Structure 1
Amino acid sequence: MLRFMFVGDSTTIGSAGEHTWRYRMWEHLRDTLGGPFRIVGPRETLYDQARDAPVSREYAPGTDPAFPRAHLAGWGEGWQHMAPLIRSAVSDHRPDVLLISLGLIDLGFYTGADDTAHNVRRFVTEARAAGPRVRFVILPVVPNIRADSDPAFAAEVARFNELLAKTAADLDEPRSPLLLTSPPPGYDLATDTYDGTHPLPSGEHKLAAAFAGAMSQAWGMGTEYRA
């Protein structure tokens, strides 16, 4: 049975009242994978913006009660935060595939492109120390609204995505592949996010589609995404 773990920042943990792209991806895997699977991870809550803490369990109305809430995602957390956590998370929960969306928060608040790329390498090393055959599917950083008004930040995001592609190529190996997704197809900050960063339902579908398309094309895992 395949085991998937979502690893990410605020766009992955999601806020109270949202479905999250994790939910959209689970629905897609449920409908297309063709076999049993599990969603695993050490956390389960959503972020409650009113309380400024990850304490909510209130997903959007209509969320399937069978949806497994498990993940390793945090509001304001990036590669530098997850690198020290991933070895124990992989050891405890034994994921086969890590679905990773990280980097925007690093570049926005903590580290430049070079140091963030170094933390990607650290993350991969730590994950493999616990799971030598774990697979990685990584979403490039999607620029947020800040990139429209801050050219230096936009350049840093572009540089990191170049370094991320090089890092994925350097660290890829047959028993533990690193797969970089394409940017989310047709992603529009004006219509797919509610604040220029965090996804609306249409954005959730497009983020899930990026992961689904990469896994289907590279590994024959599931199919292309259909919203």
Structure 2
Amino acid sequence: MLRFMPVGDSMTIGSAGEHTWRYRMWQHLRATYGGPFAVVGPREALYDKATDTPTSYEYADPDFPHFHLAGWGEGWLHMAPLIGEAVRAHRADVLLVSLGLIDLGFYTNAGQTADNLRSFIAEARAAKPTVRMVFLPVIPNVRARTDVPFATEVALFNELQAKAVADLDERRSPLLLASLPESYDVDHDTYDGTHPNAAGEHKIAGAFAGAMHQAWGVGGEYGDEGDGTTEDEDDGETARDFERYRATHSSSRRSAWR
């Protein structure tokens, strides 16, 4: 069984009432992977804007394995120290990583952010030497239109991330850099200039899916699943795996945000 762990910031955790790109990816893999897989991670919740806490379980469709390692306002700076234990505890095989925007906006410059990226890779491999990782470039948000220094840092980090992926790629622990989501437009694919709406969720999931399919033969091209209504199909094996995983890691779920 291939175990996928989504890792990210506010664009990955999502907020109450959303599907999230994690859901779109699960639908895609369910329809195209052709083998057993699981979505794993130490956290489950969405961010609740009303309480300013990551405590909501109000997914637009809650009937999917919504495990992850993502946090509102968390970036490479925060995830690098956490990823080793998360990989070890949840036996992740593939990390789907979307990080960097919050770092560059509030915490670190491009060079410092790239250093944290490299630390993240090292910590993940220390926990599991064969772990695979797929990285999404930072998608510039609406701020990049008027804040030239910020836009410059985003562009520089994307270059540094591409270099790190090329430098650190290994046969036993391959690294992939996904393409920026095709035709992504913050005016149409986000609800606030940063966070993806349904269209944006599909494009982010499609970027990850395309990279894995083209490089590793995992799944199909995004859209091969048809009309996206696979949630109504019977999938007892996935449901049983989900419940077994939930029961095993229930204590981790309860304590994830303490």
TM-score, structure 2 length as denominator? 0.86
What residue is the counterpart of 1:69 in the other structure? 66
- Report the secondary structure of 2:95's partner residue: strand
What residue is the counterpart of 1:99 in the other structure? 96
1:69: Cα distance to partner?
1.1
RMSD, aligned CA: 0.7
Alpha-carbon distance in structure 1 between the residues aligned to 2:167 and 2:49: 38
- Report the secondary structure of 2:5's partner residue: strand
Listed as ranges, the matches of 1:13-162 within 5 Å are: 13-60=13-60, 63=61, 65=63, 67-162=64-159
Q: Deviations over 1:10-36 (max 9, x none)?
A: 000000000000000000000000001
Alpha-carbon distance in structure 1 between the residues aligned to 2:143 and 2:66: 30
Alpha-carbon distance in structure 2 between the residues aligned to 1:110 and 1:4: 28
1:9 aligns with 2:9: yes
Runs of 4+ more than 4 Å apart: none
Q: Which runs of 5+ in 1 are unaligned?
A: none
1:168 aligns with 2:137: no
2:66 partner amino acid? R
- Larger gyration radius, structure 1 or structure 2: 2
Matching residue within 180, 188, 203 for 2:185: 188
Alpha-carbon distance in structure 1 between the residues aligned to 2:66 and 2:160: 32
TM-score, structure 1 length as denominator? 0.98
Alpha-carbon distance in structure 2 between the residues aligned to 1:203 and 1:169: 27
2:83 partner amino acid? I
Alpha-carbon distance in structure 2 between the residues aligned to 1:214 and 1:100: 12
1:97 partner amino acid? V
Q: Which runs of 5+ in 2 are unaligned?
A: 229-258
1:210: Cα distance to partner?
0.2
1:211 aligns with 2:203: no
1:161 partner amino acid? N
1:155: Cα distance to partner?
0.6
2:42 partner amino acid? P
1:64: Cα distance to partner?
5.7
Alpha-carbon distance in structure 1 between the residues aligned to 2:21 and 2:170: 28
Q: Deviations over 1:156-192 (max 9, x none)?
A: 0000000000000011000001100000011110010
1:152: Cα distance to partner?
0.7
Alpha-carbon distance in structure 2 between the residues aligned to 1:70 and 1:183: 24
Alpha-carbon distance in structure 2 between the residues aligned to 1:38 and 1:185: 27
Alpha-carbon distance in structure 2 between the residues aligned to 1:139 and 1:161: 9
